[in-house]
């Protein structure tokens, strides 16, 4: 069984192809912007143009645009190939990547959010989430953080706010690390999880 993994929810953009849980090929790029233009060519460059028996996609939280780009690509390919699609949480993948480098440690994940806020979530040494993802102002995130290892795109900034004592692990989600995730984190309903309310709202009727 082959699985295509798509991750475009943050400044990073990555794709990977797995065969029976083993990485076949993948690529990762720090784009910042331009995910819509780069994602499809990245998939097409994979063996067999990325054709797979199922698709997994980063459902957030993260960039509104990046999440929508990834989900749109995943849904289009799932429809064309008639294969199932699964969603996985962004911060859990970052935590799994950090835990692989720092086994047995509790990890706080902090990623760039919107309007100056950070997405924050704590994970126990066994990888279980210690709470829900929150969108916090930086100082509030620093006050909530207690782990000895901080991972994510704002790890260095959070460590600085905590006085520089924890270890900082600058990380962005990478589709090639998908195998580190537990199967219990995959959701058959890949609805977007933006982590905070939308900036624009429809006027009340």
Q: Is residue 48 part of a domain?
A: yes
CATH code assigned at 48: 3.30.420.40
Cα 110 to Cα 118: distance, rounded to the nearest angstrom? 6
Torsion, Cα of 173, 174, 179, 184 (10° steps): 30
Q: Is residue 200 part of a domain?
A: no
Q: How many domains does the chain have?
A: 2
CA distances from 181 to 21, 37, 91, 175, 177 (A): 11, 27, 11, 11, 8
Q: Same structural domain for residues 147 and 177?
A: no
6-27 pLDDT, tens per residue?
999 999 999 999 999 999 999 9
The per-residue pLDDT for range 65-122, each reduced to its tens digit, is 999 999 999 999 999 999 999 999 999 999 999 999 999 999 999 999 988 999 999 9
pLDDT tens digits for range 25-66: 999 999 877 788 999 999 999 999 999 999 999 999 999 999
Q: Which domain holds residue 113?
A: 90-170
């Amino acid at each position: 069984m082959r699985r295509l993994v798509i991750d475009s929810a943050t400044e990073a953009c990555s794709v990977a192809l797995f065969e029976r849980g083993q990485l076949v090929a993948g690529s990762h790029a720090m784009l910042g912007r331009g995910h819509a233009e780069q994602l499809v060519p990245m998939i097409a460059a994979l063996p067999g143009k990325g054709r797979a028996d199922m698709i997994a996609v980063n459902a957030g939280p993260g960039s509104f645009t990046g999440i929508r780009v990834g989900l749109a690509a995943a849904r289009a390919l799932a429809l064309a190939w008639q294969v199932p699609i699964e969603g996985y949480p962004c911060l859990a993948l970052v935590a799994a990547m950090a835990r692989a480098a720092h086994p047995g440690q509790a990890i706080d994940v902090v990623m760039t959010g919107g309007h100056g806020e950070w997405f924050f979530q704590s994970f126990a040494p066994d990888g279980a989430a210690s709470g829900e993802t929150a969108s916090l102002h930086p100082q509030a995130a620093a006050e909530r953080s207690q782990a000895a290892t901080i991972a994510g795109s704002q790890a260095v900034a959070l460590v600085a706010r905590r006085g520089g004592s924890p270890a900082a692990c600058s990380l962005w989600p990478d589709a090639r690390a998908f195998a580190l995730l537990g199967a219990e984190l995959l959701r058959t309903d890949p609805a977007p999880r933006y982590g905070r309310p939308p900036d624009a709202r429809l006027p009340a009727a």
